[in-house]
Structure 1
Amino acid sequence: MPLPSATLPAPPSQLRQSYHPDCGAAINSHFTLELHASFVCLNAAIYLYRDDVALKHFSWIFARRSLAHSDWAQGLMRLQNQRGGRLNFQDIRKPGSDN
């Protein structure tokens, strides 16, 4: 015998207890900025690793920072999902060039 629908809990994505929409928008904006920072650091790491630049030891610093920014963005996305918010991915700008 199936349970009445009133006794079944709602799926986690529909629960939004005490979660203001502005908070969700701020978290979406912040993880977009974190992803952009990750791409900028990764771009710097790849540039510094080139043979004609010869700063390979500095490249690992930027590679680690890129990973840290990426991990932080993933944590914010997990938080957004746990609280019932919606992930809103925005365009991430390409890092600028110095040419």
Structure 2
Amino acid sequence: MKNRINQGEVELLLEQGNFLDMSLADLQREHAELISFNTSLDRELNLMRGNAEKYKSKVFMVADLLRDCSNQDMTLKAIKTVVYQVGGLIGDKR
């Protein structure tokens, strides 16, 4: 994902943020806070991607089971197994 720099936004932030009046130590602290924030967002994004892949897998497995559901009892048991074995229910903290 490539970020585009909007020069207008940069100018607005420079005016409103008083970055030009900050000391080197203040700028370094601000930079460290931004890196920490971005790192936190990256971790959360990776966790969400992992969950999305897990549930995508679960949906494909259930859809595959539903293609041939001549025996409804066995199909329901198989679907329940998929739901619990591939990461549990949504909201389950396994």
Shorter-chain-normalised TM-score: which range?
0.3 to 0.5
| Higher Cα Rg, which structure | 2
TM-score by length of 2: 0.42
TM-score by length of 1: 0.40
Higher-helix-fraction structure: 2
Select the structure with the greater relative contact order (CA < 8 A; seq sep ≥ 6): 1
